[in-house]
Amino acid sequence: MKRIERAIISVYDKTGIKEFAKTLVNEFNIEILSTGGTGALLEKNNIPYVKISEYTSSPELFEGRVKTLHPKIAGGILFRRDLEKDIKDSIENNIPPIDMVVCNLYPFKQTISRPDVTLKEAIEMIDIGGPTMIRAAAKNYHHVVVVPAPACYSQIIDELRKNDGIIPEKLRVELAIKAFSLITDYNSTITNFLLSSYHPSEMFKPVMFKTYQKVSDLRYGENWDQRAAYYRDLASNHGLFDFKQLHGKDLSFNNYLDIDSCIQILLDFGIKNHVTTIIKHTSPNGVAMDEQDQLISVKKAFSTDPLSAFGGIWGFNSMLTEEVANYIVNEEKVFLEVIMAPSYESKAIEILKQKKNLIILEFGDFLEKRSEIYSNPELRSVLGGVVVQEYDHKPVVKEWNVVSKKKINEEDKKALIFAYKVSKWAKSNSACFAQIYDTGIYTIGIGAGQQSRVHVIELAVRKAKQFGHEKALIHSYLGTDSFFPFPDGLEVAVKAGAKAIINPGGSIRDDLVIHKADELNCALVFCGKRVFRH
């Protein structure tokens, strides 16, 4: 491109525009064209400019709805400086080149985020002239510089200085890409807003636009030979990107999946009591809730299956204490990859940092933002598309329906709900045996990922026995994520020691299952909500 001779400036966000315009004029002798509000600001600061209405001999119309939509502006931006025919057209029609477009848009996103916004106000904020100029300049990036955000000003000035009033091709390209990105996101926000305004009851609209911004490339994906990355959804105000990493190596793809499971279990338990949850391969392998002491909850959760806990993710719902940090660092068999907690006692961090590779994450008040966190749906790729669903964020108990003759007291109820929450997050089909101790509840055997109910219950029993919970199985509690298709699973559980079982119910053989529970004197709750997670 040639030296920049003429720039149009028309911005809603006026951050830094005064200094930027001044430099263009004083250092590079660039002629400025400008409109209403922006022009007034330049005038106030004695920065010379030409009014667009004078430049085009056409007034600003309809309260600014039409001001830059003019052939002399569009043509000045769009014509090809390397084409004889275009040059001829531009001279014959008195359309001098406009080499730079500095423009940002009416703030549609901010406007609609106001809770009291009306449809009319929102629509008024749909910018027409701005996107036209930005797109025209971006299209013609071989000859024109588009400056679509204040964040670009300092780099532009640097490059103009370095290159004697010229912006190099590489930067023009990047600016054009940025411009089209902003325009896409702007239009996508408008479309989503109109869809929500006119189809409020339809959760899933006929078309769904997503803008994802890369947070980081990842070393690899699920396996070493898959490239991968982590993106933020621009429609979400909260997410894993809120987490602060205090120590350790970069997060891997599988770390993200595990952390996601871990924080969601914690979201289900909330901030009451001391909860420790140990995750391996996105499934919990030990969870405990202690009313008084964090360290006890840690030991209890770890005791469930110390073998599989190796290399796991440990999550907490309360400030991590120095005492627990000491335990984690010094206990011989404990080896974890990630630790995550709302906050840390200051000495706890120092102690944990002794583990060079340990990833330490702090998530502040994240557990208190449940409803905002779950406002967007969950996506999952299937070949050529996605299945989307609401997150499974409703209470795990829909109705408390004790269907057995044997009744249930408050303590039993707490333990059952605890077991059922863990079972929810263990991969389906899943089963979780839990037991009460003097100050809390903990898991004693978790089975996950089986293709039949009876298999997974057998598996959970076996694991409980393997890790020394044979006695704790006596009078234990079982949560299992879907109904019993046959009474056999219940029979296995009761024989192992279960005194009460929670599941959603809903099998065509529920009668047989209830009958078997009564026969074996086991309490049975149908809670009406299945908690599959594949």
Q: CA distances (Å), 369 to each of 110, 145, 148, 279, in order?
A: 21, 42, 33, 22
Closest approach of a copy of itself to the CB of residue 199, in Å: 8
Q: 276: closest CA among 258, 263, 294, 260?
A: 294
Compute the least distance from the CB of residue 518 to a copy of itself, in Å.
26
Q: Is the dihedral of CA 319, 274, 317, 287 positive or negative?
A: positive
> In this complex, which beta carbon is closest to a copy of itself, that of residue 46 or of residue 451?
451
Which of 6, 107, 157, 256 binds a copy of itself (CB under 8 A)? It is 256
The correct pick among 15, 162, 212, 521 for binding a copy of itself (CB under 8 A) is 212
Residue 294 touching a copy of itself (CB under 8 A): no
- Reported as half-sphere exposure (CB side, CA atoms, 13 A), residue 292 has a value of 3
Residue of 5, 19, 86, 510 interacting with a copy of itself (CB under 8 A) = 86
Give 365's Cβ-side CA count (13 Å radius). 4
Task: Give the one residue of 26, 213, 292, 330 binding a copy of itself; rule: CB under 8 A.
Answer: 213
Contact 437, 410 (CB under 8 A): no
Determine if 260 is a binding residue for a copy of itself (CB under 8 A).
yes
Q: For residues 263 and 500, which CB has a smaller minimum distance to a copy of itself in the complex?
A: 263
The residue range among 8-16, 17-25, 56-64, 512-520 that interacts with a copy of itself, by the rule CB under 8 A, is 56-64
Q: Does 240 contact a copy of itself by CB under 8 A?
A: yes
Closest approach of Cβ 247 to a copy of itself, in Å? 21
What's the length of the chain? 534
Does 333 engage in binding with a copy of itself (CB under 8 A)?
no
Q: Which residue in 91, 151, 177, 474 binds a copy of itself (CB under 8 A)?
A: 177
Residue 455 falls in the annotated catalytic set: no
> Which residue in 22, 247, 281, 369 is the catalytic one?
281
510 binds a copy of itself (CB under 8 A): no
**Whole-number minimum distance, CB 20 to a copy of itself, in Å?**
24
Q: Which of 26, 330, 401, 452 binds a copy of itself (CB under 8 A)?
A: 452
Is position 157 an interface residue for a copy of itself (rule: CB under 8 A)? no
Per DSSP, the three-state class of 130 is helix
Tokens of 108: 């549609």
What DSSP assignment string belongs to 29-71? --EEEE-HHHHHHHHHTT---EEHHHHHT---BGGGTBSS-SH
CB of 37 to a copy of itself, least distance (A): 18
- Give the active site residue among 22, 139, 238, 299: 139
Kindly state whether residue 459 participates in binding a copy of itself, applying the rule CB under 8 A: yes
Residue closer to a copy of itself, measured from CB, 326 or 375: 375
Question: Looking only at residues 373 through 432 of this chain, which bind a copy of itself when binding is defined by CB under 8 A?
Answer: 373, 376, 378-392, 394, 398, 427-429
Report the residue number, 228 or 334, with the smaller CB distance to a copy of itself: 228
CB 480 within 8 A of CB 453: yes
Q: In the complex, what is the shortest distance from the CB of residue 137 to a copy of itself, in angstroms, rounded to a whole number?
A: 10
Q: Is 91 a residue that touches a copy of itself (CB under 8 A)?
A: no
CA separation, residue 527 to residues 42, 289, 420, 508, 512 (Å): 67, 22, 10, 16, 17
Which residue lies nearer to a copy of itself by CB, 48 or 364?
364
Tell me: does residue 151 bind a copy of itself (CB under 8 A): no
3-state SS track over 299-332: HHHHHCCCCCCCCEEEEECCCECHHHHHHHHHCC
Nearest to 355 by CA among 311, 315, 397: 311
Distance (Å, whole) CA 327 – CA 324: 5
Binding residues with a copy of itself: total (CB under 8 A): 136
393 is catalytic: no
Positions 262 through 291 that interact with a copy of itself (CB under 8 A): 263-264, 280-283, 285
Q: What is the largest CA-CA distance in the chain?
A: 99
- Quick check: 107 and 122 in contact, CB under 8 A? no
| C-alpha span between 525 and 520 (Å, rounded) | 15
* β strands within 438-509, DSSP E: 440-447, 476-480, 498-503
Q: Where in the sequence numbering do the catalytic residues fall?
A: 139, 281
